[in-house]
Amino acid sequence: METIEIIRKRHSVRQFKKKPIEEEKRTELTQLANELSEKSGLNITIVYDDPEGFNSALARYGKFTHVNNYIAVMGKEGMDETAGYYGEALVLRAQELGLNTCWVGLTFNKKVVKRLCHTGEKVFGVIALGYGESQGIARKSKRFEDVTSISGNTPELFTKGVEAALLAPTAMNQQNFVVKCNDGLCRIDTRHWSPYAKLDLGIVKYHFEIVSGIKVFD
Ligand SMILES: Cc1cc2nc3c(=O)[nH]c(=O)nc-3n(C[C@H](O)[C@H](O)[C@H](O)COP(=O)(O)O)c2cc1C
């Protein structure tokens, strides 16, 4: 399946079936998590068959049910954007494998997940993982012209890259980013500070790059 198709199909899912994830899929995702950890310097750990990570009043308040698997994205202070970028690579691979996900910044059990951190690390975000009760729903989105600033020509696939960026998950669906293109040179910035702005930026950059082939992440 083309990556843009996988991106179009992905929506946040918060209610999961009890169905366990098959061994082959676990092996593949764990291997990818290890590769990405190695490459980025992050600590990306996948936990299977353990509901404790979402066993908290906050998770119930957030209407999460049967989150028995999750991906914890951890690392040293200041690596927020990197965490978003590499975490999203796992989100899209999971989607391709027929699984569902939801990035979570707040509504997980912090005490439990923090135990997975190595010394000096923090938890940037957690990704709920499993077979969704549904495939989720398409949500409201900003438009192309709301998130772009263009002068001169744009490279081929720029428009498709922006479509992918607009379909990226962002905290509270803020879509707090701008894709700039100046005489063919592209970059993506956040518009204003927010607690998850950098994490969101990494996620958005991954979507844009993977579909357009235009490098925007260092
Ligand atoms: C960094 C980040 C943090 C998020 N934190 C939460 C959260 O704590 N609770 C929650 O229910 N959803 C959370 N979400 C999911 C967003 O609400 C969701 O991605 C957004 O509304 C867009 O919907 P979509 O993912 O279906 O496209 C988070 C998403 C991101 C990217």
pLDDT tens column, 115-165: 999 999 999 999 999 999 999 999 999 999 999 999 999 999 999 999 999
Q: What percent of the chain has pLDDT over 90?
A: 96
Beginning with the edge strand found earlier in the chain, give each strand of the sheet holding 69-76 in spatial order.
43-47, 69-76, 121-130, 100-104
- Express each pLDDT in 76-104 by its tens digit: 999 999 999 999 999 999 999 999 999 99
Neighbours of 119 (CB within 10 A): 4
Q: Which domains does the chain have, with CATH numbers?
A: 3-130 (3.40.109.10), 144-212 (3.40.109.30)
Task: State the distance from the centre of ligand 1 to the C-alpha of 204, rounded, in angstroms.
Answer: 13
- What was the pLDDT predicted at 139? 97
198 lines ligand 1 (CB under 6 A): no
H or E element at residue 59: helix 57-61
Taking only Cα atoms into account, the Rg of the chain, rounded to an integer number of angstroms, comes to 17
- What are the residues whose beta carbons fall under 8 Å from the beta carbon of 191, sequence distance 6 or more? 176, 177, 178
Distance 30 CA to ligand 1 centre (A): 23
**Pairwise CA distance, residues 175 & 156, whole Å:** 23
- 50, pLDDT greater than 90: yes
* % of the chain at pLDDT higher than 70: 100
Nearest protein Cα to ligand 1, atom 11 = 62
214 close to 187: Cβ distance less than 8 angstroms? no
- Whether ligand 1 lies within 6 angstroms of the CB of 105 is answered as yes
Residue 61 has pLDDT above 90, yes or no: no
Q: What is the pLDDT of residue 103?
A: 98
Mean pLDDT, rounded, of the chain: 97
* Torsions phi, psi for 54 (to 5 deg): -120, 20
The answer, yes or no, to whether residue 59 has pLDDT greater than 90, is no
Look up the pTM and report it. 0.98
Burial classification of residue 117, based on how many CB atoms lie within 10 Å of its CB (0-12 exposed, 13-18 middle, 19 or more buried): middle
